[in-house]
Amino acid sequence: MGFFANLLHSPPRLSPDIEDRLWHLAEKSPPPTRNRHRASRYVTVDVETTGLDLRRDRVLSIGAVSVARGRIDLAQCFEVVLKQPESSSHDNILVHRIGGQRQLAGTEPDEALVRFLEYVAHAPLVAYRAEFDQTMLDRALKETLNVRTQSRWIDLAKVLPALYPNNDNRTMDDWLRFMGIRMIARHDALADALATAQMLQVCLPRADALNLTCPQHLIEMQRAQHWLGRR
């Protein structure tokens, strides 16, 4: 059906403003994925959630960072806390440190998610262990706005072992140490997205050196890694 067709069945609860912004997004074509890295824009993303259940838990916060022409614009980072119908558990709050009052006073989910889509503007989305972030965001978008993003996803957990073979790195922390990147905070959506953006900055020149010169090459390599059963 696609992004545009989904809009024909948008829930009636959406405000005219949200509907209008979704229509404008639907009219925009995704950027070419064959442009070279230095001419492309990526968006790294991380989500914090009320738990790890992909079917029942909710997105609490979204952090995203733009990497355009190989550079991070710290002034243009994206962060939002989604308003929750009830606070998550005490143990969950200890993980992400988004307190109950902040959850209850967050941005309305429809507004938060439209802002996120506007920020991304269909650019390729990059995450580490992307399946979780992608699944949670797609479900939130479908349930709240009846759309899914047009963005292609790139999972650094699959890409990095192909770019840097013959090492023992298994986790994001391993790769951060390998690259000499300092993590500001863990289990913070924006901090995780920023660390992912720095990892992406390091690996793009490496990809160029291996003649993987555009987003599409990374997408294809990721697909090959998946079928080969590699990390």
Which has more confidence, 216 or 230? 216
pLDDT of residue 229 exceeding 70: no
This prediction's pTM: 0.91
Whole-number average pLDDT of the chain? 91
- Confidence grade of residue 10 (pLDDT, cut at 50, 70, 90): very low
- Confidence grade of residue 184 (pLDDT, cut at 50, 70, 90): confident
In the chain, the percentage of residues whose pLDDT exceeds 70 is 92
Residue 8's pLDDT is: 47
pLDDT of residue 195 exceeding 90: yes
Gap between the Cα atoms of 141 and 17, Å rounded: 17
Residue 90's pLDDT is: 87
pLDDT of residue 11 exceeding 60: no
pLDDT of residue 54 exceeding 80: yes
Q: Does domain 41-227 have CATH number 3.40.190.10?
A: no
Q: Which of 9-23, 85-99, 183-197 has the highest mean predicted lDDT (pLDDT)?
A: 183-197
pLDDT of residue 12 exceeding 60: no
82-141: pLDDT as tens digits? 999 999 898 888 788 898 899 999 999 999 999 999 999 999 999 999 999 999 999 999
pLDDT of residue 4 exceeding 50: no
198-222: pLDDT as tens digits? 999 999 999 999 999 999 999 999 9
Query: Domain spans of the chain?
Result: 41-227
Residue 45's pLDDT is: 98
